[in-house]
Amino acid sequence: MLSWSMELTSFKFLCFFALILIIYYLLPALTGGRGQRYVLLAASLIYYVLAGNGLLIVCPLAASFATWLCVRAVLRMGRENVTERRIILIIELVILLGSLAAFKVFGYLGIRPGGYGAPLGLSFYTFILLGYFLDVYNGIDKGEYDLAGTVLGGMYFPLMTSGPIVRFRESAEQYSKPHLIDYDALVRGLQRMLWGFFKQLVISQRLGKIVDSVYAQGSGYDGWYVWLGTVCFAFQLYTNFSGCMDIVLGLSEALGLSLPENFRLPFLATTISEYWRRWHITLGTWMRDMVFYPLLRSRFFMAQGKRLAARFGKKTGKKLNTWGAMFVLWTAVGLWHGGALKYVIGSGLLHWLYIVAGEATLPFFTALWTDKLQIDPKNRFLEALRVIRTFFLVCIGFVFFRADSTPHALLLLLRGLPWRTAAPAGGGFFAMGLNWIEWGVLLVSLAIMIAVELADEKLSAEGGIRAKIAGLKLFPRWAIWFALLFYVVLLGEYGPGYSAAEFIYRGF
């Protein structure tokens, strides 16, 4: 198979990126500011062939071409041609969602057409391109991109690993503008990439060993060990996925491009709804705009809303109707993560259940806190409890996410009861792939990450922690970045063949 390890943390990728960076900023000097987007386009195509499975590049190219054609067709029609517009919409949906579904089903059944797996970035380019079409269809985007612009918008290479799921109007527009070299932006971008490397290579890799020990079939780690493994997985996934975003957004920043954030301290959320506004933010907004709102405006849910309001009263009827639409929404979110039942439960329906239960019991708790106990429902202690509760609920979802299957997840939850705590013979804290030094490195690194990200959030109005460091004197400023660089180089776990960590979200 034509495939060449091109993970974002690999040495090969860094060389590739350095080359792109040089050409990207040198070319405009020769052409008078034009042509940068062709550098990005060529880089994206080359990257795809090298990192993906070679020939499967025809899939994103076909999806881009179809989207470009459908956008042209919709723009050519007047808004009054309702039927024709709808036919184009259906064609676009069938082509994009059809190929997404087909590859997911193939993957689920273990079929590899022609020896290939799914195309690289399938879920990401599908949603980005479909989002573009729907924005044009809904009159939000003017749809001004030519074929090259559409291909680049859908296949911009950093997005092919794990997103973010950008909207054309906030990304593609920037690709076509000239970007002169800006030393500050370049340095800031590289700094953010380094931070992503730190989270990926130093923290995520180490956490992965603990998680693998606990989640191996018949591992013998029960009780509290299951929860240790699960909390480690929560942070493994966070450092892996958000670290990947730091690299993607950082390298885009170095190219003068500003892409939307995908994470904002998700484990500090006080409710599940808030969690989804902080974790994988771009997926949440995409699903809200493209699935949830259209559902609520569909004939079925509008009629259903009336029926329910007549039967249960206005307030309850409205709630029930919203929960019904949410059920479809969360099933879609679960399916996006993969066809397997464990994803539909762990990343979908379980979260739906949490939100519904939360909304249904809200009046009771509000009455309890304010009327019965006469305490402020927003006091710090209760808020802290809510953060812990929300994290725990999210962790239950992660058990499904990480386990091999739904039965395995249920078994782990059963075995995870605290009084069953047991380690296998010869097992224990220091036999989970990390010795005491490694544990020390992990805990210190986690503490650094948490402290830095909290500080960054606090300083966000002043440009975050990088701006703060940039304001320091020359010596301390460079000392900090060199210390981080050496920390990553010395303590990063590079895995076999100097290739990077597996990006967990790459599989989707």
**In this complex, which beta carbon is closest to another protein, that of residue 139 or of residue 418?**
139
**In this complex, which beta carbon is closest to another protein, that of residue 210 or of residue 355?**
355
Write down the least CB distance from residue 69 to another protein, Å: 21
Are the C-beta atoms of residues 403 and 409 closer than 8 Å to each other?
A: yes
**In this complex, which beta carbon is closest to another protein, that of residue 12 or of residue 318?**
318
**In this complex, which beta carbon is closest to another protein, that of residue 322 or of residue 445?**
322
**In this complex, which beta carbon is closest to another protein, that of residue 304 or of residue 499?**
304
Length of the chain: 508
**In this complex, which beta carbon is closest to another protein, that of residue 294 or of residue 440?**
294
Instruction: Give the span between the Cα atoms of 253 and 171, in whole angstroms.
Output: 12
Are the C-beta atoms of residues 100 and 168 closer than 8 Å to each other?
A: no
Write down the least CB distance from residue 475 to another protein, Å: 48
Measured N-to-C along each axis, helices 436-458 and 205-215 cross at an angle, to the nearest 10 degrees, of 120
Q: What is the 3-state secondary structure (H, E, C) of 124-150?
A: HHHHHHHHHHHHHHCCCCCCCCCHHHH
Write down the least CB distance from residue 74 to another protein, Å: 12
Q: How far apart are the first and last CA of the chain?
A: 20
Nearest to 369 by CA among 387, 386, 389: 386
Write down the least CB distance from residue 82 to another protein, Å: 10
Write down the least CB distance from residue 360 to another protein, Å: 16
**In this complex, which beta carbon is closest to another protein, that of residue 314 or of residue 477?**
314
Binding site for another protein (CB under 8 A): 79, 135, 138-140, 288-289, 293-294, 296-297, 302, 305, 314-315, 318, 322
**In this complex, which beta carbon is closest to another protein, that of residue 101 or of residue 140?**
140
* DSSP classification of residue 200: I
Write down the least CB distance from residue 302 to another protein, Å: 6
Give me the sign of the Cα torsion angle 191, 192, 197, 203: positive
Q: 344-382 burial string, b = 16+ CB within 10 Å, else e?
A: bbbbbbbbbebbbebeeeeeeeeeebeeeeeeeeeeeee
Write down the least CB distance from residue 280 to another protein, Å: 18
Instruction: Give the span between the Cα atoms of 503 and 218, in whole angstroms.
Output: 25
**In this complex, which beta carbon is closest to another protein, that of residue 141 or of residue 222?**
141
**In this complex, which beta carbon is closest to another protein, that of residue 5 or of residue 285?**
285
Are the C-beta atoms of residues 16 and 35 closer than 8 Å to each other?
A: no
DSSP string, 346-384: IIIIHHHHHHHHHHHHHHHHHIIIIIIS---TT-HHHHH
Residue 118 phi, psi dihedral angles, 5° rounding = -75, 150
Nearest to 220 by CA among 432, 435, 442: 432
Write down the least CB distance from residue 264 to another protein, Å: 17
Write down the least CB distance from residue 315 to another protein, Å: 7
Write down the least CB distance from residue 285 to another protein, Å: 10
Are the C-beta atoms of residues 23 and 39 closer than 8 Å to each other?
A: yes
Write down the least CB distance from residue 5 to another protein, Å: 41
For the chain, the maximum distance between any two Cα atoms, rounded to a whole number of angstroms, is 74
Write down the least CB distance from residue 306 to another protein, Å: 10
Give me the sign of the Cα torsion angle 321, 324, 325, 326: positive
Instruction: Give the span between the Cα atoms of 58 and 67, in whole angstroms.
Output: 14
**In this complex, which beta carbon is closest to another protein, that of residue 278 or of residue 318?**
318
Give me the sign of the Cα torsion angle 234, 236, 237, 243: positive
**In this complex, which beta carbon is closest to another protein, that of residue 81 or of residue 138?**
138
28: preceding bond cis by omega (within 30 degrees): no
